[in-house]
Amino acid sequence: MTALRDLQLAVSGRRSSKVCARCRRRKTKCDSGYPSCGACTKAGAVCRGYDSNGHQDLPRSLVKALEDQVAELERQASSLHHSPANITLALTSRLAQATLLADISGPRPFFLSDITSSVLLRPSCLPLVVCNVKKIDGSGSRPEDQNQQQRLSSTNLGRIPYAAIEQMISNYTNIHLPQYPCVSEQHLSNAVSRLLIVLNGDTDAALSLGIPASSGLTHYDYFIVFIVLAVSSLTLTWKNEHQARTASDAFFDTALHHLRLAPEVTDIHRLQTYLLLAHYANLNPNKADNWICIWNATRIVLDLGLHKQASEVLLQDQEEVRFRNKLLWCTYGMERSLSATVRLPLAFPEEASITISHHSISDADTKHASASHLYRFRALETEVHRTLYLQDGSTHRSRSELNSWMVDVTRRLDAWLERAKDFSKYQMLEFRMVQYGLLLARLFRPSPRLESRTPEEREKCFDACSILVEDYQHQTKRRRLFYPWHGVHNLFEAAVIMLESCWALRDYEPLRHRARHILAVTLPDCLALLNKVGESWQDAALCSAYLSPILDEASRAYSDRALAQIDPARIEAECLMTEKLRKLLFPEGPLLWESRMSFETDQNSATDPAPSLEPVMSGMKDVDWDAFWEYVQDLSPIWTDIQPSDTVIVAG
């Protein structure tokens, strides 16, 4: 700035001219009067100082010069502020206006854009360690699998025997809904009944011609029915896996198309949708991302304040209060399971601040108490996760306190398992032994809170992981491994725990024989189960391929010790192996949702088609519904052949 430069010259003592610019140019005598010389005053002209550098002449008053410059800068700033070229300011202004005008609590479409569907409908994540490695060649979707996706059946309910529909709905309401109460049973029943009446049950016509306004149904009602049928169909794999999966894929695609056509979805409907999609993603990880669904559901619960007692005050309908309470605890259970599995921070606040208690039924025999019992397990799971993995420093600080706490958790877990056995007659909590074994293994494995473990604790890990693997083997033989996402994560974690324990005990003679058995039998069985799950979820085979070389190296270490083949090179290799296992136990890097898709290759993105939301019409290859009915009708003998003496009377 010229004025500041002149001021600096004056302060520095450098000579500056006192003759005004007008007198200098006219070559007349200047009396150097201040703030205006006599000649300029007499002529009525503005007296300015002469700038020897050739810049703009300035007023003789430095203060006046600075004031003029401030005024000019303010004029330029005002001009810039209103300029359309100011993209940042214009964008901020428009965003602020849109935010003020938007009714975020009002109904709006579920799929706000194509990005919403592309994010939700990508596959669920593998264990995060495996996500960081490049996908093995040929491990993607096989051509026959892609062809199978193109041969989906018609989902026209008018062509499906009513008894088959009734049995699939009954399967969902009797077994799945009590454990995962994502939808009102009464609403589901009414929707199915009315849906089969409208257009004589021609659900394809409802897509092509639209839903008659007189029916009182919406596309969201159709979505609820079809996603329920998709979930129920996937649990029929124990009879005919191919037909069950084909039918489920068709139901799911039709459900998504109705969801896209739903013009307005309330926040509660949005919450139900995310929970239903998360449930389906746990059953079919290829079709949807359970991570994003569960966390979106959690965000809605927190935004609506369902975890606070104050939210109930605004509702007069007690039935609605109870239903929202169920949605809260269903979301809580899914969020806790996801957080403990992939080692995420807890999204919900401390349990003490959740002022609403879950709906528990006093009758110990009723199947509806299964959800409450499952939440008790989630509370135990959360306690272990918070103490050993998130390292909550408020309690259990010393090792002796931690030991007492672990004994108490084990006692409570044993009591939970004993009570869970009562639900077997309802075909509920079928994975209780898996949950029991996995939580015991997490309790006694190395963790961020307790990295060093005793041989006795590692032996308990052997026992717990063996329970888990044996139960998964039984489920596989009975074709009842319905939740492959949990299966892959649980089996992978159990394999890592067993590998690390075997490696740590390689010089501990009392447990060498047990460790050899784990390496020779239990771990290969575990990897075989991962490959088995890979038949329905192709990416699951990556986990087995990732762990196989590590298992071979651990087995060789035991053989080398038996042959006394220990040399410096071998010692260095064992140090590398120790570090590799440590990274498996404690993956490095932030646990971000984006990181779990880093393994996808360009080839995969080029060959895999984007999720289609087109309607599944009757022109496509159909499932043989007559054959389908043959095994659907004996789907759940406990409920179809129940004896009067076994009937449970629920009061109220």
Question: Domain extents for the chain?
Answer: 2-77, 115-124+148-344+598-626, 457-590
Residues in the chain: 652
Task: Grade residue 331 by pLDDT with cuts at 50, 70 and 90.
Answer: very high
Q: Which of these ranges, 234-238, 578-582, 627-631, 632-636, has the smallest mean pLDDT?
A: 632-636
Q: What is the pLDDT of residue 523?
A: 97
Tokens of 73: 């800068």
Higher pLDDT, 228 or 352: 228
Residue 14 has pLDDT above 70, yes or no: no
Amino acid in position 172: Y
Least confident of 66-80, 423-437, 454-468: 66-80
Long-range contacts of 8-17, Cβ-Cβ distance < 8 Å, separation of 24 or more: 17/49, 17/50, 17/52
pLDDT (0 to 100) of residue 26: 86
pLDDT at 651 over 50: no
Q: Rounded mean pLDDT of the chain?
A: 77
Q: What mean pLDDT comes out for the span 450-454?
A: 92
Q: What is the DSSP string of 51-107?
A: -TTSS--EES-HHHHHHHHHHHHHHHHHHHHT-TT-HHHHHHHHHHHHHHH--TTS-
Q: Which of 337, 541, 585 is nearest to 441 (CA)?
A: 585
Q: Could you give the angle at which helices 455-477 and 523-533 cross, rounded to 10 degrees?
A: 40
At 277-300, the pLDDT tens digits run: 999 999 999 999 999 999 999 999
Instruction: Decide which of 309 and 428 is more confident.
Output: 428
- The fraction of the chain above a pLDDT of 70, given in percent, is 70
Over residues 46-102, the pLDDT tens digits come to 888 877 766 666 766 666 667 778 888 888 777 766 665 565 656 666 666 665 555
- Please check whether the domain covering 2-77 is classified as CATH 1.10.645.10: no
The Cα–Cα gap between 580 and 572 comes to: 13
pLDDT band at 608 (very low <50, low <70, confident <90, very high): very low
